[in-house]
A and B are shown apart, each in its own frame.
Chain A
Amino acid sequence: MITTVGLTKRYGPVTAVDDLSVDVAPGVVGLVGANGAGKSTLLKVLLGLLPATSGTASVLGLDVATQGEEIRARVGYMPEHDCLPPDVSATEFVVHMARMSGLPTTAARERTADTLRHVGLYEERYRPMGGYSTGMRQRVKLAQALAHDPQLVLLDEPTNGLDPAGRDDMLGLVRRIGTEFGISVLVTSHLLGELERVCDAVVVVDGGRLLRSTSTADLTAASALLVVEVEDGDRDGRGAQLLAGALRDAGVVVHPGGAASRLLEVELAGDATYDAVRDGAARLGLGLVRVQQRRHRMAEVFAPPAAGAGAPGPAVRASDDDQEVGARVGTV
């Protein structure tokens, strides 16, 4: 679907994309990287809007350097920034944008009604967009990218500025575009955790270079882990080890941290594991500082491998906040 070979884009002395070679299969693909990693630049090169400094890229089998117009006719683009005039309604705006993609007026009207319904805009579609919330604005931006029924949509940070519920909605929508609508998606984010939930594959870039390109199934193949941090009071730092022993007795697989570590990694085997942790801590009189779910290897794509196996500290900090399930539990 998207292929780049040695793609490089420089702005003067700044290299935004550096010798990037990646082959993206159809489906929902995440493009992950920190701010300034070159994600937006890559999207613009793929749309044929920015010429590459060197290297080649093709989208849907079309060369970005020479067939930009054909690419843009078949691809939908949702920019990261705001791009909605406040004085027209969502309906008027999306109809106009569908026509600007080459749809005849009647077809543009029908597609607009369909698309706005799919992204979840109902009565509010007739109001001027100046009064919309961030969530509604993001939906209109998504709708204008889908209005002409593209084969591929490029979504630049669609969850930007949304609250957690809005993020979940948007991510669910992204997933539906890929599965129900049958439109391939390239979606960018700086949060690995949210993309792992909806993407078939993830491409990780940093400083314009490819860090990793892999399917999400590979990334999250390992079983889920529970990170447990205990407050051991007067046990001289042995609280975690005592809890590890208690959990092993209860038949739970535990990877202990270092000698003085207050962290444990517990393999999650259903709700019973939570109960075992709670009961063990209560029996030993330990305070549970946090109980946090972490899917196994996803976060380590970002962070360098932790020094020494079984030392979960750095990886825990690299994991995403929204996976935290039982944060800051006091003494049980």
Chain B
Amino acid sequence: MRVSAPSERLAVPAPSGQRDAIHDIGYRHYDGPRLGRRAVQRALLLDSARGAYGLGRAGRTKIVPVLLLAAMCLPAVIVSIVASVIGAAQLPLNYTAYSTTLATLVVVFVATQAPASVSRDLRFRVVSLYFSRPMQRVDYVQAKFAGLALAVLAFLAAPQLLLLAGALLAEMPLREQLPDLARALAGAVVLSLVLAGVGLVLAAATPRRGLGVAAIITVLVVLSGVQAAVLGISLERGADTAAGWSGLLQPFTLVDGAATLLGAEATLPPGPPGTAGALVFAAVALALVAACYVLLVLRYRKVSVS
């Protein structure tokens, strides 16, 4: 090893003619500031959120999230152009309906990025390095949860903001757009928490990334399939109330139903039965987020440091 030879550690002269040289000034102690647990947690949160888009990671990890985001935003651009060309008075696709229409892309994003966020740390046992630092296990879970939720929120909100820009370019009045956009963003916040929670619980169950991806896609697709089946059967039998409750069965209809509390029409009909139903939807959505958090904390309590 080069460092063990003192003569080579003293100075490395630069190529001839230059006076620059790299000097080894020996070991320097650090006496600058040391940040506390909260600051460390914030750093991990931001790192996780950025990591979901491959920022600060190797180049090829950027490909999938960037392609998905482009696919997610492209329809918004097209809708905006069409609206401004034909001079429409209203957007053909409103803000809330947008993410439910493109639910498949959202599912794929969560399914690929949730395992990328946690399976990697489990598989390569990086967690033992995190937990041998001041940070506690709960801090890690909170940071990863919030980080992925933030990434999913950005994924949902980006096309909504593009739609707003398109609407303004088509000279639709801002005052008419804002309430709908606010409702859509509120729904996006809840949806990102629900999806991040479900995704992380499944991803953290296995150190195998591929398994995590498959599990998340399977669960979300199966749930929406079951919901569609229950809805279809209910409608066929004329059981409208049951049809309304069927929305509880999968995240997108669940959050969409809860969002009707804010005054929007359900974009995925038929929506929850009445205001009481909408309250139940909201309560279930929040309970689901809480349950995912508790499950993650329990999961990470069992992760061994060695």
Contact = CB atoms under 8 A, between A and B. Distances in A.
Contacts of A81: 125, 128, 306
Interface in A92-127: 92, 96-97, 99-105, 107, 111, 114, 117-120, 122
Interface string B132-146: 111110000000000
Interface stretch (B33-41, B222-230, B250-258): B33-41
Contact of B134 (A80, A101, A114, A128): A101
B57 interface: yes
A169 B1 CA distance: 6
A52 to B, nearest CB: 15
A72 B306 contact: no
Contacts of B33: 104, 107
Contact-residue size bin, chain B (C-beta under 8 Å from the other chain): 35 or more
Interface residues of A, number: 49
A105 B42 CA distance: 12
Interface stretch (B21-29, B78-86, B232-240): B21-29
A163 interface: no
Contact of A103 (B35, B126, B136): B35
Contacts of A103: 30, 32, 34-35
Nearest to B29: A149
B124 A85 contact: yes
B246 to A, nearest CB: 41
B276 interface: no
B132 A180 contact: no
A86 B24 CA distance: 30
Interface string B265-306: 000000000000000000000000000000000000000011
Contacts of A128: 58
Contacts of B125: 79, 81-83
B56 A83 contact: no
Contacts of B43: 99-100, 105
A289 interface: no
Interface in B68-110: none
Nearest to A122: B2
A8 interface: no
A307 to B, nearest CB: 39
B242 interface: no
A40 B132 contact: no
A72 B40 CA distance: 13
Contacts of B56: 92
A100 B27 contact: no
Interface in A121-146: 122, 128, 144
Contact of A120 (B3, B40, B126): B3
B129 A97 contact: yes
Interface string A55-90: 000000000000001101100010111111111100
Given A83-B124, A83-B125, A102-B39, A49 B305 contact: yes
B120 interface: yes
A328 B47 CA distance: 57
Given A49-B305, A79-B132, A117-B24, 8 more contacts: A44-B305, A73-B34, A81-B125, A83-B126, A85-B120, A85-B124, A100-B135, A176-B3
Interface of B: 1-4, 24, 26-30, 32-37, 39-40, 43-44, 47, 56-58, 61, 120-121, 124-126, 128-136, 305-306
| Nearest 10 A/B pairs, CB to CB | A169-B1, A149-B30, A77-B132, A181-B27, A102-B35, A102-B34, A172-B4, A120-B3, A85-B124, A73-B134
